[in-house]
Amino acid sequence: MGLSIAILAAGKGTRMRSTRPKVLHTISGKPMIWHILKAATALSDDVTLVVGHGAPLVQEAVGEFQVHILHQDLQRYPGTGGALRGIEPRYDRLLILNGDMPLVEAEDIAPFAQVEGDIVLGVIELEDPRGYGRVVIADGQVERIVEERDASPKERSIKLVNAGVYCIRRELLREFLPRLSNDNAQGEYYLTDIIQLARAAGYSITPLFLPADHFYGVNSKADLARAEEIMQDRIKRRWMEAGVILRLPKTIYIEVEVTFEGECEVESGCVLKGKSHIVSSQIKANSIIEDATLIHSSVGPLARIRPGSRIEKSQIGNFVEVKKSRLDGVKAGHLSYLGDATIASGTNIGAGTITCNYDGKKKYPTTIGKNVFVGSGTKFIAPVTVADDVIIAAGTTLTRDLPRGVLAIARPPLKLVEGFYYKFFGKRDDA
Ligand code: UD1
Ligand code: CA
């Protein structure tokens, strides 16, 4: 039996103190809404996303997922209780998720499809329940949810809180949504009031207890940082379980779409971003890899590999920056910039080599063949192509293509001016 899902993402997120819609703040490289949509679309083929504040930006960010978009009328019906007006779920039961829970995974919400009940309410127990709606339970039955601002001191001491996940039968939603009122501290329609309306009408409300760190709600920048820590621990634990060596994992940042294969090692202080794919490689301390592929290579310490790079069977050393380049069997040990370059096997890039790939208007390619010895401090003025088996002398500025087998040397003539030092600085006392 199918389950429809609705994700509430129309709120302003005032407590974030940001012009960006709350659900677009990122966790491990992806907007919060991306994480929850990933979980929801894995579970259901009928997912509705409710948008309002910053709707065009939110819609743009969900491009890769198949969802229905519902626009909330925030003027007439503000609040979580106004969000679902006009929803048409395909299935008999609708699972409603707050959009600001980026740590939820498909396995966390799957149990809602199994539990019987007119309404199944996700409940978590918190030592510090501040900020959440409290769940009032009497005689084993959920009575109602009271928001913090509307709660009495006694109700505030309740540690069972509303996770922000509900599974509701479609007819109940139709019956009770129009009956919500906005008579509360915020003057908003609260979805949570459905509980007491349904209870009064004799329907069953079943609590489903959930793990707190998977249903963490992000309302502020401090919450965002906390959610990031939990997500990072999760991502790194999974890769270690899969066989990746992480040295001092607390110091390493790995985004959610990074993948590893074979036996890999990542040393302390590294940042791995985007869709980087690492195969049987070692990334030494304090290196940054973004949207790049490393295969049987070693990179760093202190290297920066930028988007569109593919580095295979190569060794990249410290202070080397590689951008949108293909390196296959290459050594670049020290202090270089290799941008828009294609470099073939057996080639050695000397310290201080720069591809001058940009003329202020356009970017140009540099192509270097096999077994080329590039002397230190070489400048490739792109576009330029070097054939196999070439030696380029240190300090050369290369302004033309090179044929196979040559030595290329371009150095301005050296001029000596006798005694200039003393004329300029005067005689030294100790001289
Ligand atoms: C809500 C619950 C609270 C629960 C907590 C769990 C209500 C009234 N309260 O409080 O009981 O403990 O979540 O995290 O529901 N949204 C809309 N349209 C709106 C307002 C909000 O779509 O008009 C969306 C937001 O974008 C957000 C979600 O609903 O993703 C929750 O809204 P938020 O304001 O964060 O609710 P809380 O105060 O956290
Ligand atoms: Ca919230």
Domain segments of the chain as ranges: 4-209, 221-408
Question: Would you name the residues annotated as active-site residues?
Answer: 334
Q: Does domain 221-408 have CATH number 2.160.10.10?
A: yes
Closest CA to 343 of 355, 358, 357, 325: 325
pLDDT digits (tens, 9 = 90+) for 83-135: 999 999 999 999 999 999 999 999 999 999 999 889 999 999 999 999 999 99
User: Which range (331-340, 359-368, 380-389, 422-431) has the least confidence?
Assistant: 422-431
Q: Does domain 4-209 have CATH number 3.90.550.10?
A: yes
Centre of ligand 1 to C-alpha 80, Å, is 6
Centre of ligand 2 to C-alpha 272, Å, is 29
Q: CA 276 to CA 257: how far, in whole Å? A: 7
Ligand 1 proximity of 217 Cβ (cutoff 6 Å): yes
Residue 140 has a pLDDT of: 76
Residue 431 has a pLDDT of: 59
Centre of ligand 2 to C-alpha 392, Å, is 61
Residue 130 CB neighbour total at 10 angstroms? 8
Quick one: pLDDT band at residue 377, thresholds 50, 70, 90?
A: very high
Phi, psi for 330 (deg, rounded to 5): -115, 150
Residue 212 has a pLDDT of: 94
pLDDT digits (tens, 9 = 90+) for 174-208: 999 999 999 988 999 999 999 999 999 999 999 99
Closest approach atom of ligand 1 to CA 188: 23
Ligand 1 proximity of 219 Cβ (cutoff 6 Å): yes
Pocket test for ligand 1, best of 12, 20, 69, 80 (most atoms within 8 A of CB): 80
Ligand 1 proximity of 8 Cβ (cutoff 6 Å): yes
Ligand showing the shortest atom-to-Cα distance for residue 223: 2
Residue 138 has a pLDDT of: 86
Closest approach atom of ligand 1 to CA 22: 26
User: Does residue 151 surpass a pLDDT of 90?
Assistant: yes
pLDDT digits (tens, 9 = 90+) for 278-308: 999 999 999 999 999 999 999 999 999 999 9
* pTM for the full predicted model: 0.95
Percent of the chain whose pLDDT exceeds 90: 95
Ligand 1 proximity of 48 Cβ (cutoff 6 Å): no
Instruction: Report which protein residue has its CA nearest ligand 1's atom 3.
Output: 133
In sequence order, the β-bridge partners of residue 386 are 368, 402
Q: With helix as H, strand as E and coil as C, how does 8-30 read?
A: EECCCCHHHCCCCCHHHCEECCE
Closest approach atom of ligand 1 to CA 100: 30
Ligand showing the shortest atom-to-Cα distance for residue 192: 1
pLDDT digits (tens, 9 = 90+) for 153-163: 999 999 999 99
| Rounded average pLDDT over 388-409 | 98
Ligand 1 proximity of 78 Cβ (cutoff 6 Å): yes
Quick one: pLDDT band at residue 22, thresholds 50, 70, 90?
A: very high
User: Does residue 244 surpass a pLDDT of 70?
Assistant: yes
32's tokens:
């919060």
Residue identified by tokens 């004799």 is 202
Residue 417 to residues 69, 140, 145, 376, 421, Cα–Cα distance (Å): 76, 97, 88, 26, 9
Residue 209 has a pLDDT of: 95
Chain mean pLDDT for the chain: 96
Ligand 1 proximity of 79 Cβ (cutoff 6 Å): yes
Q: Which string of b and e fits 297-332 if b means at least 16 CB within 10 Å?
A: bbbbbebbbbebbbbbebbbbbbbbbbbbbbbbbeb
If DSSP codes are grouped into helix, strand and coil, which group holds residue 284?
Answer: coil
Closest approach atom of ligand 1 to CA 12: 26
Centre of ligand 2 to C-alpha 100, Å, is 6
Contact 173, 237 (CB under 8 A): no
Q: CA 406 to CA 286: how far, in whole Å? A: 38
Q: With helix as H, strand as E and coil as C, how does 383-425 read?
A: CEEECCCCEECCCCEECCCECCCCEECCCCCCCCCCCHHHHHH
| Rounded average pLDDT over 51-67 | 94
Find how far residue 220's CA is from the centre of its chain.
18
User: Which range (165-169, 307-311, 426-430) has the least confidence?
Assistant: 426-430
Instruction: Report which protein residue has its CA nearest ligand 1's atom 1.
Output: 164
203's tokens:
């329907």
Closest approach atom of ligand 1 to CA 72: 18
